[in-house]
């Protein structure tokens, strides 16, 4: 008996769409194409046994925030459905440009995660885990100068991750949470 593939052409369409939306973006302070982050987040979601909607939301989780455009949110809704759009909404720190002040955005996001569904938490954890891994890799290459890329600096960034970890631990227990905790511990311990 042949099993139905986990991913359909909807995932392929989302991958193309995400690649087009972020075509001219690079990872913060690097020459790495931004789509690498989206691919990594989607991979983590799938490795955590996420479903297709969650994987699509992982590919699109920054689309509204980076564009500041309500029309993008509407396109996501029409092309990929209410569940994907809802996950993207919950993972969006800000949908306006210019963005609100850093701390206000982070506090709002933390509050959103307090009330998040398991699907939203899965995508959020995967997003923050990949970001934390990237910070660690950059820290190994650049030393403490890595923290200059972040508005919150080292203290603010680690505060944000610790605040989210407290929520993630309550909301679920899996390898993603254990891994982000390990990375954050390591970042805190580096002198």
Residue 2 lies in a domain: no
- Summarised one tens digit per residue, pLDDT across range 161-177 is 999 999 999 867 689 99
Instruction: Give the domain extent around 32.
Output: 9-189
- Summarised one tens digit per residue, pLDDT across range 122-144 is 999 999 999 999 999 999 999 99
CATH of the domain at 176: 1.10.3210.10
Residue 3 lies in a domain: no
Q: Which pLDDT band, with edges at 50, 70 and 90, does 3 fall under?
A: low
So which residues are the catalytic ones?
A: 65-66
Q: Report pLDDT for 184.
A: 96
Residue 78 lies in a domain: yes
Residue 86 lies in a domain: yes
Residue 169 lies in a domain: yes
Q: How many domains does the chain have?
A: 1
Q: Report pLDDT for 68.
A: 64
* C-alpha span between 84 and 119 (Å, rounded): 10
Residue 141 lies in a domain: yes
Percent of all residues in the chain with a pLDDT value above 90, rounded to a whole number: 77
Residue 77 lies in a domain: yes
Residue 106 lies in a domain: yes
Q: Report pLDDT for 112.
A: 95
- Summarised one tens digit per residue, pLDDT across range 64-121 is 987 767 889 999 999 999 999 999 999 998 887 788 899 999 999 999 999 999 999 9
Q: Report pLDDT for 151.
A: 92
């Amino acid at each position: 008996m042949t099993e139905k593939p986990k991913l359909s052409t909807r995932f392929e369409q989302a991958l193309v769409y995400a690649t087009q939306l972020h075509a001219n973006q690079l990872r913060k302070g690097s020459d790495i194409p931004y789509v690498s982050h989206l691919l990594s987040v989607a991979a983590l979601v799938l490795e955590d046994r996420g479903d297709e909607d969650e994987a699509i939301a992982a590919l699109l989780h920054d689309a509204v925030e980076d564009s500041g455009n309500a029309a993008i949110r509407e396109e996501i809704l029409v092309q990929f459905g209410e569940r994907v759009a809802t996950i993207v909404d919950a993972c969006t720190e800000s949908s306006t440009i210019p963005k609100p002040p850093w701390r206000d955005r982070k506090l709002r996001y933390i509050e959103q995660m307090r009330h998040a569904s398991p699907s939203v938490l899965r995508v959020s954890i995967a997003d923050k885990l990949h970001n934390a891994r990237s910070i660690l890799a950059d820290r190994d290459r650049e030393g403490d100068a890595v923290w200059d890329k972040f508005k919150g600096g080292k203290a603010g960034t680690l505060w944000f991750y610790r605040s989210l970890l407290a929520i993630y631990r309550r909301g679920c227990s899996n390898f993603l949470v254990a891994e982000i905790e390990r990375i954050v511990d390591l970042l805190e311990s580096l002198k």
